[in-house]
Amino acid sequence: MSISNSLTKLLLFLLGISPITFLHPKFPIKEATIQDLQTAFQQNKLTSKELVQFYLQQIQKLNPTLRAVIEVNPDALKQAEEADRRRAKLNKGHHSSLYKAATSLLDGIPILLKDNIATKDKLNTTAGSYALLGSVVPRDAGVVKRLRKAGAIILGKASLSEWANFRSTAAPGGWCARGGQGQNPYNLSANPCGSSSGSAIAAAANLAAVTLGTETDGSILCPSSTNSVVGFKPTRGLTSRGGVIPITPTQDSVGPVCRTVADATYVLDSIVGYDPYDSKATRNARKYIPQGGYAQFLKINGLKGKRLGIVRDPFFDYIKGFPIQDTAFKQHFDTLRGKGAVLVDNIIVPNIEAIMSQNNELTVMLAEFKLSLNSYLKQLIKSPVRSLADVIEFNNKHAQKEMIKEYNQELFIAAEATNGIGPKENEALATLAEWTKDGFEKVMAEHKLDAIITPAYYFSSVLAIGGFPGISVPAGYEKDGVPFGICFGGLKGTEPKLIEIAYGFEQATQIRKPPVL
């Protein structure tokens, strides 16, 4: 069900929700964390149904402007009622400790999914394109299966940069044909950044408790930085890409976009693990999952003893032209030192300029996109398109709807012209692997670093080509109100360290504030 304001009002009316903005008398829902919500459930101050009603109201009120949500799930309230029944049953006879032991922290919590993550329900999965409207997926995506098992409520689909920003270089960040132009809630004229724009906007503006995004290169880290939320891009294969509309298996990753490091960690805990539909990557990454999960690394003193590398050239040199950011990061470095971190300054990553040019990366992405998208489309039970060539043709036929004249589809056309993984692609893959080994990995080992610090999302290409994890945490606001983040990037499987660092930084600085809407 597409979110036009009138349709949302109709849905709310049919569900018996008052058109007056829903505010719970006993519990302030805005900015509430997963832990806050679970405590409110336990103390009978809130039900999952009331929580879903609140978010539906928020979407009704704010989405016509923000364009963060493409569809709401008509079964969301039903799922919420089921969660409330589960809770009531386990709490009967005051077995609250039994309830705590028997349920996940995500039980009864509403989550929005980026619209390239498949759900086998009444929701569409379209990557924001009309070409896939009405297509039927064979099954839930691997991460969705895990979310359902954890008791999470699928609230709906978040908007995105269409086709995860891989149709064209001309389209603005946050635009897709189905959802329109997503807006940054802190400054409506600012770029919300892509491609997980809707997930970040929705988390920032309290349209859902938590959200899920995907990243190929910067697609979680950039919108999280620009919308003052926490974005966690995991090690490639730690979370399954099975059932996710692909760009490239070499780089794609699924991760949380939330308001706090703790919430992102709880979501990560719920979605990691082996999936037969992404068997090679998830099998290889399984060894990185710590016994007892990730929440144990939410330590207030997590920065103590951590060795953090600062890449001045080109990243912090670049922000010298932005005095507010430059000043903020100088303060952040003092905070990090004050909390016991060791800062190793002026780290030079070899081949950084070549990596940032993205030429070899694009060579691989174009070829892998065609192969993996064709494979995804062929597996659909029902679909208006069955290949990349079909999608190109669809766009040409529906050029007005898809704004082909304005934004074109040159990446699609370039990808369609590729012919599998040949000598050129293999050479590009070998070069990227060499740059990773002789660059980021070597620097991390030589300086005994736990993480690299960069502003915003600027390190995303280095992390992308090696399948490395990164986490973006709110770091400040420009004078026009537009947020900026700090990114901590590490080697494969270092999520525990990154959580300790990010949580320690977040707790010491407390920078995130909700947008004034």
**Catalytic residue set:** 114, 195, 219
- What is the DSSP secondary structure assignment for residue 22, as one 8-state letter? P
Under a CB-based contact definition with an 8 Å cutoff, are residues 488 and 230 in contact?
Answer: no
81-112 burial: b if 16+ Cβ within 10 Å, else e? ebbbebbeebeeeeeeeebeeebbbbbbbbbb
- For 240, the token pair is 């399954």
Element (H, E) at 366: helix 359-379
**Tokens found for residue 125:** 């999965």
Which DSSP symbol is given to 486? E
E strands along 323-398, which residues? 342-344
Max distance between CA atoms of the chain, in angstroms, equals 67
213 SS3 class:
strand
d(CA 309, CA 339): 16
CB atoms within 10 A of CB 191: 17
Residues contacting residue 188 through CB under 8 Å, at least 6 positions apart: 65
Q: What are phi and psi for residue 56, nearest 5 degrees?
A: -65, -40
457 vs 432: CA distance, rounded Å: 19
- Nearest residue to 361 via CA among 248, 241, 193: 248
Q: Which amino acid is at 313?
A: D
Residue 304 makes CB contacts below 8 A (sequence gap 6+) with: 339, 340, 341, 504
Tokens of 294: 């990730």
Query: Residue by residue, what is the 3-state secondary structure of 134-200?
Result: CCECCCCCHHHHHHHHCCCEEEEEECCCHHHHCCCCCCCCCEECCCEECCCCCCCCCCCCCCCHHHH
